[in-house]
Amino acid sequence: MAPPLTPSQVSIIKATVPVLAEHGNTITTRFYRSMLEANPDLKNVFNLTHQVTGHQPSALAHALYAYASNIDALGNLSAAVELICHKHASLYIKPEQYAIVGEFLLKTMKEVLGDACTEEILDAWGAAYWGLADIMIGKEAGLFKEAKGWDDWKEFKITRKEKESEEISSFYLEPVEHFELPIFKPGQYISVQIFVDELQLWQARQYSLSDAPGKPYLRISVKREKGLPIDTKDPKVLAHEGYLSNLLHATKNVGDVVRVSHPFGDFFYEEKEVGKENPVVLISAGVGLTCLMSILNTLTSKPSSRPISWIHVARNAGVRAFKAHLDELVETNKNLKKVLFTSSPGEQEVQGTDYDIKGKMDLDQVNKEDLFLQDDAAQYFVCGPVQFMGTMEKKLKSYGVPSERINMELFGTGGVPRV
């Protein structure tokens, strides 16, 4: 267990905030390159797409900046630490890997900053790093304990593969060696690990579970990612396709086997007051609907009078997943209302049938009764691109909804900037 930082070390860390603002991306980009060159086995752990695009170094640079800025008020980072620990647990990060990261991070800071990075600064950052690492290792140990023995990748067979839209397909996964699946919390995710021949590496990605818990399978619904933007000024290098989403869509079929982690994730639905059916509003954009579909299927799995609103935006009917399933749920659950936005409807789409409102999602156009703004127990769950979530949170707060009742999920690296 690392000793607490001294007042002098805290002062040193806070003094390096401007340095991280200026040199953070340079440090983290070089850090990942040198660490992975010296430890090629770690390439099986880190997301190589995010390395190519520059998203991972950028996310780490922002994290270091936030850590230094809040070194004397780490409670401000508790939500971010919780998010990261769940992701680490889903990738089965080991305590000894923290030592490798710490070694190369400090080494790279010295290389980039040169003489400006004194021994006192290195000592302070070493102490700060291990203080945070100890917290995270402890939290992750607790998550592994909750997994009750599912402490490594397990092989699952694809038993069904269903096309949900032009971009999204669902994969039903059942364990090769039969065991009782855990009752996950609706909204959580699993990691799926596949060997990528092109890279000669294992790669893993987190995918939200898109059905209710308690089934004999785990279902994920995956969007085929055409490409992620690369941080470069070279106009010829525009995007990098997601390895796993394309492999799942193009090469994985019924009977194929993938590796799967225990469900994790700090974004989930949970009863706030047992026995009280508080309203729930589910707001999503694009593939962000997957985790919310798990919540919706859970809420509608038994008779209830709980008010539920499903509000979703898609580009057009072709890319909107689960439309037929949603229509069936609305028909059989009188307590469920839906509002569908379509930003660019096709010529054959009919308003009132294929969608309700044309344009980007604007909560001002939603009947306020369907947002349950007068109920101080209503819960709001939001998932989609970061900018979308920030816009939705800002609008909900303008209606008087407090932050503690607004739950947001993020796909990819980094965190959701709260407004």
The per-residue pLDDT for range 235-293, each reduced to its tens digit, is 443 344 567 999 999 999 999 999 999 999 999 999 877 668 999 999 999 999 999 99
Residue 411 has pLDDT above 80, yes or no: no
167 is known as an active-site residue:
no
367 burial via Cβ count (<10 Å: 0-12, 13-18, 19+) = exposed
Beta strand spans in 176-229 (E): 189-196, 201-208, 218-223, 228-229
pLDDT band at 198 (very low <50, low <70, confident <90, very high): confident
List, in sequence order, every residue forming a beta bridge with 89; answer none if it has no partner: none
Q: Which of 67, 92, 129, 140 is catalytic?
A: 140
Give residue 239's pLDDT: 44
pLDDT bracket for residue 410 (50, 70, 90): low
How large is the average pLDDT for residues 157-171? 98
Which segment of 32-41, 299-308, 337-346, 410-419 scores lowest on mean pLDDT? 410-419
User: What's the pLDDT band for 234 if we cut at 50, 70, 90?
Assistant: very low
Phi-psi group of 327: left, alpha or beta (phi > 0 → left; psi -120 to 50 → alpha; rest → beta): alpha
At residue 235, the pLDDT reads 43
**Mean pLDDT across the stretch 332-349?**
96
Residue 413 predicted with pLDDT over 50: no
Average of per-residue pLDDT across 113-132: 95
pLDDT of residue 124: 96
Per-residue pLDDT band at 183 (split at 50, 70, 90): very high
Residues 1-37: pLDDT tens digits?
778 899 999 999 999 999 999 999 999 999 999 999 9
> β-strand 280-285 against 308-314: which pairing, if any?
parallel
Q: Which residues touch 241 (CB under 8 Å, ≥6 apart)?
A: 49, 225, 226, 227, 228
C-alpha distances in Å from residue 353, one per residue of 90, 95, 335: 40, 53, 20
Summary mean pLDDT of the chain? 91
* pLDDT given for residue 175 in this prediction: 98
**Residue 327, pLDDT above cutoff 70:** yes
From 67, 98, 243, 380, active-site residue: 98
Q: Average of pLDDT values for 65-86?
A: 92
Mean pLDDT value of segment 191-218: 94
- What does the pLDDT read at residue 241? 56
**Does residue 2 sit in helix, strand or coil?**
coil
CA distance 71 to 5: 9
Interacting residues of 41 by C-beta distance below 8 A, sequence separation 6+ = none
pLDDT at 58: 86
Reply yes or no on whether 404 is catalytic: no
Contact 375, 279 (CB under 8 A): yes
pLDDT beyond 90 at 228:
no
pLDDT of 419 > 50? The answer is no
Q: Name which of 45-54, 73-82, 401-410 the model is least confident about.
A: 45-54
Query: Across residues 330-340, what is the average pLDDT?
Result: 97
H-only helix segments in 119-176:
119-146
